[in-house]
Amino acid sequence: MTDKKRFRPLWVSLHWLMALLVFVTFGIGLLSLAYKPNSDAKIIPLAVHMALGLVILLIVFARYLLRILIYQPPRRAALAPALTAKRVLFLDQLTPYVHPLLYLMTGLMALFGIAIALPADLFPTVFAYSGAPLPADFYIYPARAWHGTLSLVLLLLIVQHVLVAVFHQFIKGENYLGRMWFTKN
């Protein structure tokens, strides 16, 4: 095992932790924040959403640095015929663009979240219980519309990502998920 391959488990663990946190943070955003009035009842879900969002930002940054500076997974063509080297589906042809966009959009989501929180003074309100009321509507901050719109873009990217994984793993019967697991390849 070369020195750099030691980092693979970290790269894999951070992928799944990031995926889990993105699903939870997204769910809280849609179910407990987006269509609810800005009352005090929103402070706890907002605190959890913001804290998880900040952790996601750190993970995306750490994973990106790890990916470009230290650990590069083996190229897909090198694994043929274990994995279809030719991308047969249009959806799969998008993968080389979708992977970097997943990093970018996830990071941007968190940054736009911070760009809502700062002018709205949310950090003292939700983390230090300063007692200040929430603004009547977050849409007075331009970053709110961006945060909502990019969440749809991120959702589409995740749908492509998951469909491609399901296609390779279950329809083509390849060990695609093994590419993001603790095995050697």
Question: Rounded to the nearest 5°, which phi and psi values hold at 176?
Answer: -70, -40
Q: Cβ closer to ligand HEM: 15 or 91?
A: 15
Size of the site for ligand HEM (CB under 6 A): 42
Region binding ligand HEM by CB under 6 A among candidate stretches 2-10, 84-92, 141-149: 141-149
Measured CA to CA, the distance from residue 154 to residue 26 in angstroms comes to 10
18 binds ligand HEM (CB under 6 A): yes
Q: x/- site string to ligand HEM, residues 26 to 55, per CB under 6 A?
A: x--xx--xx--------------xx--xx-
- To ligand HEM, the closest distance from the beta carbon of 121 in angstroms equals 11
Q: How many CA atoms lie within 13 A of 38 on its CB side?
A: 13
125 within 8 A of 44, measured Cβ to Cβ: no
Helical residues (DSSP H) of the chain, grouped into ranges: 8-28, 43-65, 90-93, 95-117, 122, 142-166
- DSSP one-letter string for 23-38: HHHHHHIIIIIITS--
The per-residue DSSP string of 8-24 comes to: HHHHHHHHHHHHHHHHH
C-alpha–C-alpha distance, residues 41 and 44, integer Å:
7
Q: Does 125 bind ligand HEM (CB under 6 A)?
A: no
Q: Specify the residue, 7 or 15, whose C-beta has the smaller distance to ligand HEM.
A: 15
Stretch that binds ligand HEM, among 1-9, 84-92, 110-118 (CB under 6 A): 110-118
In the complex, which residues of this chain contact ligand HEM (CB under 6 A)? 15, 18-19, 22-23, 25-26, 29-30, 33-34, 49-50, 53-54, 56, 67, 73, 76, 99, 102-103, 106, 109-110, 113-114, 116-117, 138, 144, 147-148, 151, 158, 161-162, 165, 176-177, 179-180
